[in-house]
Amino acid sequence: MDSLISDMSTSKSGGISCKDQNRRITWEGCSVLLDINDGDRVLFARLTAGSKIKIGNKNCSLQPLIGCPFGSSFQVEDGKEGPVLSRVLQSTKGNSLQITEESRDNRMLVDNNSAQSLTGEDIDEMRRKGASGDEIVKALIANSATFEKKTAFSQEKYLLKKQKKYAPRVLLRRPFARSICEAYYKKHAERIGFLRVDTLSLLLSLANVSAYSDVLLVDMLDGIVTGAVAERLGGTGYVCNTYCGVTPYPINIVQMFNFNDDISPRIVHSSVAELHSYENGTSPPNDQLEDASTIRSQQNEQILSPSGQNADSMEENEDGNMEIMTDVAASTKVDKGTKAGRKAPVEAIKLWKENGFSSLIIAAPNLDPWGIVKEVLPLLSYSASFAIYHQYLQPLATCMNTLQAEKLAIGLQISEPWLREYQVLPSRTHPHMQMSATGGYILSGTRISGGDQTQTM
């Protein structure tokens, strides 16, 4: 068993290997989340010498981002050979404007277009002469008749608005379960079954995901849960995705995590028939095994070239959406070191059969939870925790009722997470005007040893 594990973790085939999952400096080939203008636009990209992004009407190479710390910001500047992204160092002296209690008010403000004396032509002219975005913003402020009369709060708002337009910022974020889930939830919630980040965090806790866990998963949310679990396992244990039939569910999102060669091989899949087939020491019929391995290669194909599914649908318009850079696909092909989503090794399947999985998470938005639970619950060890996500309450209520009646689990609970963000500013603290009204529901519990127990007293 030990040898099985070390075999898997040493089976590297070139590619970039980063030992530390928790790297804080980018490297060539790493996946990054680019946050443009405070979340107005979010995109995933892989940093290669050739990769480019378009900001406004300018094409910029991502090369300058390689070797920079996550968390750093960039601005578009005019270089000799066209626009370049250059690093903006953050000052440690607070915001450009001091936020204090306000004495001014807006009674003097008149809303007409005469407040700004700089015209569009003036700005174009400045641009031609090579003025930077920051300089344009400064000029706009200097030529605004009303800026001084504005409250500090609206001054800041004005400044931010102009900055976004004339001097857009690119923030380099680490692709972690948190940032990836938030980015999807904000821009393409339907792709991750409307799974909010706090709900995802609860799934991981309620299922007791921890190092050396063997987590059984039904992830139909394109791999967001798979990635989050693998991140928590940090190269120990296994995440085993199971499915009914012959085709594993796609887990494209896993690519956006920077999983190293310790973590990726821990992400495996196995059909529910296979997981059951070693029951009583019997092996699955041969043809079944072969079937499964053909799927595996198809599956890999699919992962390696998401152009069909991903790039097309992900790449979107200028008006602020999430995109996946086409070259994510290209560079993943090069980076053969990362192999997530292989077939579960037979030895592992046998051990799971003997010992049971230690956790179960189900996230299958369009399926009846009980239909899945009745198949996979017996694969868990006694005392193992499980957590089932659903967007709707009723299917979980029905499932809970059945679990209770059949006495298969205890500690059954349906929870609904609630999350509210606040604006916290001197004398202006209040909840955000918009909040997400639903983060879905989770049914959780603990599997218990079943009816085979008789009273011995």
Partner 1 sequence: MFPFDSSKKLSFSRYISDGDLLIVYERHDNMKAVKVSESGVLQNRFGVFKHSDWIGKPFGSKVFSNKGGFVYLLAPTAELWTLVLSHRTQILYIADISFIVMYLEIVPGCLVLESGTGSGSLTTSLARAIAPSGHVYTFDFHEQRAASAREDFERTGLSNLVTVGVRDIQGVGFPDEFLGRADSVFLDLPQPWLAIPSASKMLKQDGVLCSFSPCIEQAQKSCETLRSDFTDVRTFEVLLHTYEVREGNLRSWQDNDGGSMSLKSCKKRQRSTKGLENASSLTIMARRNGESRGHTGYLTFARLKCTL
Q: Which of residues 395-434 bind partner 1 (CB under 8 A)?
A: 396-398, 400-401, 404-405, 410-426, 429
Report the C-alpha gap between 100 and 171 in whole angstroms: 27
**Binding residues for partner 1 restricted to 3-22, rule: CB under 8 A:** 5, 20-22
Between 174 and 187, CB nearer to partner 1: 174
Question: Quick check: 217 and 230 in contact, CB under 8 A?
Answer: no
Q: How would you label 395-430 residue by residue, b for 16+ Cβ within 10 Å and e otherwise?
A: bbeebbeebeeeebbeebebeebeeeeeeeeeeeee
Using the contact rule CB under 8 A, the part of the chain among 160-168, 209-217, 296-304, 313-321 near partner 1 is 209-217
Which C-beta is closer to partner 1: that of 117 or that of 423? 423
Which tokens go with 147?
């800026």
As measured in angstroms, the least distance from the Cβ of 238 to partner 1 is 8
What does the angle CA 32 – CA 34 – CA 37 come to, to the nearest 5 degrees?
A: 165
CB atoms within 10 A of CB 337: 17
Nearest to 277 by CA among 375, 386, 388: 375
How far apart (Å, rounded) are the C-alpha atoms in residues 182 and 153?
Answer: 27
Residue among 6, 112, 282, 456 that touches partner 1 (CB under 8 A):
456
Build a one-symbol-per-residue string for 216-245: x at contacts with partner 1 by CB under 8 A, - elsewhere: ---------------xxxxxxxx-------
- Contact (CB, 8 A) for 172 and 65: yes
Number of residues that bind partner 1 (CB under 8 A): 92
- Residue 255 or 302: the one with the smaller Cβ distance to partner 1 is 255
Phi-psi region of 266 (alpha: psi -120 to 50; beta: other; left: phi over 0): alpha
Per DSSP (E only), the strands in 62-114 are 73-79, 82-88
Binding to partner 1 (CB under 8 A) within 369-388 occurs at 381-385
Q: Of 318 and 416, which has the nearer Cβ to partner 1?
A: 416
Choice from 86, 201, 305, 326 touching partner 1 (CB under 8 A): 201
* Interface characters, 244-283, with partner 1 (x: CB under 8 A): ----------------------------------------
According to DSSP, residue 341 is labeled S
The smaller minimum CB distance to partner 1, of residues 142 and 211, is found at 211
- Between residues 106 and 355, which has the closer beta carbon with respect to partner 1? 355
Other Cβ atoms less than 10 A from the Cβ of 363: the count is 26
Residues 149-188 that bind partner 1 (CB under 8 A): 174, 176-178
In 3D space, the residue among 393, 41, 33 whose CA is nearest the CA of residue 227 turns out to be: 33
Q: How far is the CB of 212 from partner 1 (least distance, A)?
A: 5
Q: Which is nearer to partner 1, 29 or 439 (CB)?
A: 439
Q: How far is the CB of 242 from partner 1 (least distance, A)?
A: 17
Nearer to partner 1, 96 or 313 (CB): 96
Least distance to partner 1 from the beta carbon of 330, Å?
28
CB of 261 to partner 1, least distance (A): 15
Beta-sheet strands, E only, within 26-182: 31-36, 41-46, 52-55, 58-61, 73-79, 82-88, 169-173
Separation of alpha carbons 374 and 372, rounded Å: 6
H or E element at residue 357: strand 357-363
Which of 348, 349, 364, 372 touches partner 1 (CB under 8 A)? 348
Q: Which is nearer to partner 1, 283 or 401 (CB)?
A: 401
Name the minimum Å distance from CB 428 to partner 1. 10
Q: Minimum Å distance from CB 205 to partner 1?
A: 4
Closest distance of CB 148 from partner 1, Å? 23
Distance CA 154, CA 176 (A): 34
Select from 14, 394, 433, 437 the one that contacts partner 1 (CB under 8 A): 394
Write out the binding residues for partner 1, residues 37-96 only, by CB under 8 A: 69-73, 89-95
